[in-house]
Structure 1
Amino acid sequence: MACFQWQQQQQSPEPLELKTGDILLIRSGFHAQYAELGAKDEREVGEAWPPASCGVDQDLRLLKWLWDSHVAAVGGDSPAWEGFPSDDKADFTFHEVLLAGWGCPIAEMLWLEDLAASCRERKRWTFFLTSAPLNVHGGVASPANMLALA
C-alpha cells in the first residue's frame, strides 16, 4: 500500500502528527532484509539494472502534506526515500523537489530496527534525532552518523 494511503487509513489512538521542524523516518524493513543476504544475493541486488527498491510513492498528496507539515528532513532504511523505478506518470521526483527545491535533507539506508524496537518497548515514537555528517568541503553526501535520544 502506498505510504500516504497507509498513513491516512491508520486508526491509531495517536495519529501521525508532524510539527514544524520534525524529521519523518519511514522503516520499510529493506535494510534488515538486505543485511541477511549472502554475498551472491547482495551482489545481484547491487548490480541489478535498472535498480529497484521500495520507498514512498511519487504521490503529489504526500509532497503537499510534507510541505504543509514543514518537515526539516526525511529518511528511511531503503536505498532511496522514494521507490525506484519511480512512477512515469508523476511529473516530479522527491529527490529533485526535497533536495534542490526545498533544501530538505534525505537520509537513506538508515539502520532503524533497533530504534523501532526501542520505540515499541517505550510505546513512544518521538525522540530527539541528531546527525553529524562528515565535514568535507564541497561534499554533497556523507554517512549520516545519527543518534536518537528518547
Structure 2
Amino acid sequence: MRTTGELSEADFRRLYRRLRDTSPGGAARRGALDTITGEHVRAAVREVRSGRTVSLASPVNTRTAPDDPEPAEHRLTSPVGGRPRGSGLEFARDRFAMNVHGDVDSHLDALCHVVYDGTLHGGVPAGDVLSPKGASALSVDLARDGIVGRGVLLDIPRLHGVPWLEPGAQVAAEDLAAAEERQGVRVGRGDILLVRVGHRLRREELGPWDVAGARAGLHPTAMEFLAEREAAVLGGDGNNDSAPSAVHGVAFPVHVLGIHAMGLHLLDYLRFEDLAPLCAREGRWSFLCVIAPLRLPAATGSPVNPLAIL
C-alpha cells in the first residue's frame, strides 16, 4: 500500500493515452458497460446461493458536516406542520433535493461527468453536449435499464490487517492483486469491481472530516489493473480518488482515467460494512450485483442503492 508515489502531469498523460487506446470501453457506445453481455448476466445470477440481499448504499445525509456543507434536503410537505386533521383522508407527502456529486451520499457518475481538455469520454466536445438543461449525450440515461452483473469486493484494509486505510493512503495495483489472491477471487471481463478502503467505517467511528484535503483511494496506476481485467464498473466506499492527488495539476486522476479514458461508470461513497463481514464468513467475495439509477435522461449522475445478492 502506497502513501506516496506522485506522477508528473506528463507521466499522467502518457498513462491516460495508454488506457484510452487499450481499454475495451474506450470507444463503446455505453462505455465499459458494453462488456456486460447477456452471458455475463446469466453467469452472475448463478452466483446467488442463499438469496440474501445487502444494500451497498450509505444512509442519505441531511446534516451539515465537514465533508458535506450542502447536505441533502428532506422535508414533509403535508400534512401542513406535520399535524393530521384527525378525520377524513389525508396523504403524507415530502420533498427531497440532493447535490448528487457530494462527498457523503452514494451515487453513480455518468460518462458526461468528467470534462478533461474540453472534452467528454470518447473525445466528444463538452460544449456540444452540456447546457443549463443538462447533458444531451453520455448522461446517466445510458444506464437506464440498470447495471446487472457479477460484483467482486476487494477488501484492502482486511489485506493489511487494519479496520481502514488512513486518509491519504493510495491503493496500488499490487494491493488489488494481493487482495484477489488472499480472498480467492479473480476480477474478470464485465465485472463490477468494488474496492473497500474503510472510508465509511472510519467516518462512522471517528466522525466526519474534510475529505477534500485527505482521503484514501486508488493510485492512478491502479487503473491499469482494471484495464487488464476489463472491468465494467468501479465502485468504492470513498471517492475512488485519494487526496491529496497523486498527480500534479490533476485533482481527480482516477475519475479522469476511469470515466474519461476508459468509459467506466464510477460509484462513489458506497457502504460495505454489512457486505464485507458476510463475505468473510461465507468465504466468497463475488455475488450478483444490481445497480438501478434514477431515470434522469439529462443528468450527470444519480443517487443509487446498489444491491448485492448472495
TM-score, normalized by length of structure 2? 0.41
Q: Which has the higher strand share?
A: 2
Given the alignment of the two structures, is residue 32 of structure 1 paired with residue 201 of structure 2, yes or no? yes
Q: What is the correspondence of 1:41-60 to structure 2 with a 5 Å cutoff?
A: 42=208, 45-46=209-210, 50-59=212-221
What residue is the counterpart of 1:82 in the other structure? 241
| 1:67 counterpart (227, 233, 236) | 227
1:7 alignment counterpart: 176
CA distance in 1, matches of 2:195, 2:183: 19
Partner Cα distance (1:148, 1:140) in 2: 24
Number of equivalenced pairs? 139
- Give the distance between the partners of 1:116 and 1:31, measured in 2 at CA: 12
2:247–2:253: 8 Å Cα contact kept in structure 1?
no
Counterpart of 2:292 in structure 1: which amino acid?
A
Residues 90 and 20 of structure 1, relative CA distance in 2, 3 Å threshold: farther
CA distance in 2, matches of 1:138, 1:100: 18
State how far apart, in whole Å, the 2-side matches of 1:129 and 1:9 are.
23
SS at match of 1:36: helix
Distance in 2, Cα, partners of 1:66 & 1:128? 19
Distance 1:23 1:34, change over 3 A: same
Counterparts of 1:101 and 1:13 in 2: how far apart (Å)? 29
Output the amino acid matched with 2:182.
Answer: S
SS at match of 2:220: coil
Larger radius of gyration: 2
CA contact (8 A) 2:215 2:243 kept: yes
SS at match of 2:216: coil
Query: How far did 1:126 drift?
Result: 0.4
Q: Name which structure has the greater RCO, CA cutoff 8 Å, separation 6+.
A: 2
SS at 1:107 equivalent? strand
Instruction: Output the CA distance in 2 between the equivalents of 1:77 and 1:31.
Output: 6
CA distance in 2, matches of 1:131, 1:6: 26
SS in 2 for 1:127: strand
Separation in structure 1 between the aligned mates of residue 244 and residue 297 of structure 2, nearest angstrom: 31
Question: Unaligned 5+ residue runs, structure 1?
Answer: none
CA distance in 2, matches of 1:8, 1:128: 21
